Amino acid sequence: MSARKRLSTMRTTTFEYYPYLATYVYSMRAIEKPGIKTLAVDAHGNMYYDPAWIESQTVERGAYGVVHEVCHVVFRHHERANEMYGTAPTEMQRHVCNVAADLVVEQAMHDMRRHRPDGSVHLGMQYTPLKITLDFPPNLRMEEYYRLIMERINSQSEEQGSDSQQQDGNGQPQDSESDGQPGDESGTGANGGEPDGDSMPAPCNGGSAADGVTRDYEEEPDGAWESFGEDAAAQATEKAMEDAESKMPGSVPGSLREAVGFRSQVVRDPWGELKAAVATSVASPVGGRQSTYARPSRRQPPNMMRLRGNMPTAPNAVVVLDTSGSMCNPDDQAKALTCIAAGLRKLARFKVIAGDTDIASRKDVSSIAQVEWTGGGGTDMSHIVERVDREERPDSIVLVTDCYTDWPERQTRARLVVACTTNRTSVVSRIPRWARTVVLAD
């Protein structure tokens, strides 16, 4: 069995323990990264795995790892970490943040505790890298555990500094090897938590979802998770949690319910969401990035053969404007024109193709005044989208419509972003799942 299939089995196994997290688990895009020696998730919905690590784990332990990493995303530990120490933390801050985050996750995973790998962070353990005991109260947030761990480190550092001044029985100062100077394995220095030299313990394994710091192996984000994927996962998970609680009250950890509920209730800015969807869609054109020696790789090792970097190719975005009779009311027209204006602010110029059952006009526009509203008949956006995809061959199609239309039977070659002017569930639910949806309703 290949490592990818084995990882798929691990992900499927998580359903036996946490079925309500299935949307998060399966929303993660699996990316093979040999040599990272772990399983990790970044802050953008990507799951990285080392094939050797996957093959070394039992299915149950691998499933534990999958849920553990996904929980970092659910708890939004990357955002919390950046709020605590910004985007340029010290190695000690990163390490302590990872430990604090793992304490929160481990308590939410009591149903899989018997599959927890040896040495995993948990309450009550003696944590040797920092030479402290994690004997803290349960059910605290990551920020609170972070503060308690830092206080413990600073307290021990002060005690070690005091002990180094004590004298032995002959009246001579004692030679302390634990005073926080270079060579101290505790990883704490006399400066209150900032270690010296090689005494610093290595940061915990895992991706940026745990501490907000991007790893070298992480891919460039495409924006899909931020603009749509995360909100969709939170909403589906909240509903699944409600169903689980109705059948078996108390079966969902309160910390997970709170985290998912908070995310799903965040008021979404449709115009900001549309801007992100359009920007990421055109910034990552079909065919990917062009590999070139003209741009150095960000993974270039020093004094080694030059590696190729990636250079984005020029995007080609087309806006398809639904001008059928149902779109002729002032509200829908205002939303449509606002949508086009948002795109022009990002790209400065693109082609607008208007129509109802067929294309009525094609025009390159650089201002909203140049948009022609021609049409007014019936609606068949499926025909227009397929024709534009075939004839124009754009990287992205932004379809502005009220969604009272049929849809293409097959996924388009271009990325399709549907800017929907209504929020009626019966209408929005018919949009193909392979298209990115942005609801522009008030």
- Cα distance between residue 181 and residue 164, in whole Å: 11
Mean pLDDT of 373-384: 86
Q: Nearest 5 degrees, angle CA 210-CA 22-CA 259?
A: 50
In this predicted model, which residue has the larger pLDDT, 295 or 285? 295
Which pLDDT band holds residue 309 (cuts at 50, 70, 90)?
low
Mean pLDDT of 69-96: 92
Angle between helices 254-264 and 59-74 (to 10 degrees): 50
Task: Rank 178-187, 189-198, 346-355 by mean pLDDT and report only the highest.
Answer: 346-355
* CB-based contact 48:39 (threshold 8 Å): yes
How much of the chain exceeds pLDDT 70, in percent?
75
Mean pLDDT of 378-405: 89
Q: Residue 303 pLDDT > 90, yes or no?
A: no
Mean pLDDT of 258-264: 75
- Residue 119 has a pLDDT of 86
Which pLDDT band holds residue 287 (cuts at 50, 70, 90)?
very low
- Residue 134 has a pLDDT of 95
Handedness of CA 64, 89, 100, 28 (dihedral sign): negative
Question: Measured in whole angstroms, how far is the alpha carbon of residue 243 from the centre of its chain?
Answer: 25
Q: Residue 433 pLDDT > 60, yes or no?
A: yes
- Residue 338 has a pLDDT of 79
Q: Residue 15 pLDDT > 90, yes or no?
A: yes
Which pLDDT band holds residue 173 (cuts at 50, 70, 90)?
very low
Among 28-42, 136-150, 250-264, 265-279, where is mean pLDDT lowest?
Answer: 265-279
In this predicted model, which residue has the larger pLDDT, 370 or 71? 71
User: What tokens does 360 get?
Assistant: 């009525």
* Helical residues (DSSP H) of 248-322, grouped into ranges: 254-264, 270-283
In this predicted model, which residue has the larger pLDDT, 299 or 53? 53
Q: Residue 434 pLDDT > 80, yes or no?
A: yes
- Cα distance between residue 151 and residue 188, in whole Å: 12
How much of the chain exceeds pLDDT 90, in percent?
39
Q: Residue 187 pLDDT > 60, yes or no?
A: no
> How high does pLDDT run on average in the chain?
80
Which pLDDT band holds residue 19 (cuts at 50, 70, 90)?
very high
Give pLDDT tens digits for 33-44. Answer: 999 999 999 999
Residue 437's DSSP bridge partners are: 418
Give pLDDT tens digits for 335-368. Answer: 888 777 777 776 677 888 999 889 988 988 888 7
In this predicted model, which residue has the larger pLDDT, 159 or 309? 159
Mean pLDDT of 146-171: 75
Residue 199's Cβ-side half-sphere holds a number of Cα atoms within 13 Å equal to: 21
Cα of first residue to Cα of last residue in the chain, in angstroms, is 50
Which pLDDT band holds residue 178 (cuts at 50, 70, 90)?
very low
Question: Measured in whole angstroms, how far is the alpha carbon of residue 120 from the centre of its chain?
Answer: 23
- Residue 220 has a pLDDT of 85
* CB-based contact 166:153 (threshold 8 Å): no
User: What tokens does 100 get?
Assistant: 């604090």
Task: Rank 65-74, 200-209, 367-376 by mean pLDDT and report only the highest.
Answer: 65-74
Domains of the chain plus CATH, in order, are 1-161+178-266 (no CATH), 317-439 (3.40.50.410)
* CB-based contact 31:46 (threshold 8 Å): yes
In this predicted model, which residue has the larger pLDDT, 181 or 364? 364
- Residue 175 has a pLDDT of 45
Which pLDDT band holds residue 304 (cuts at 50, 70, 90)?
low
* CB-based contact 331:324 (threshold 8 Å): no
Give the chain's length. Answer: 442
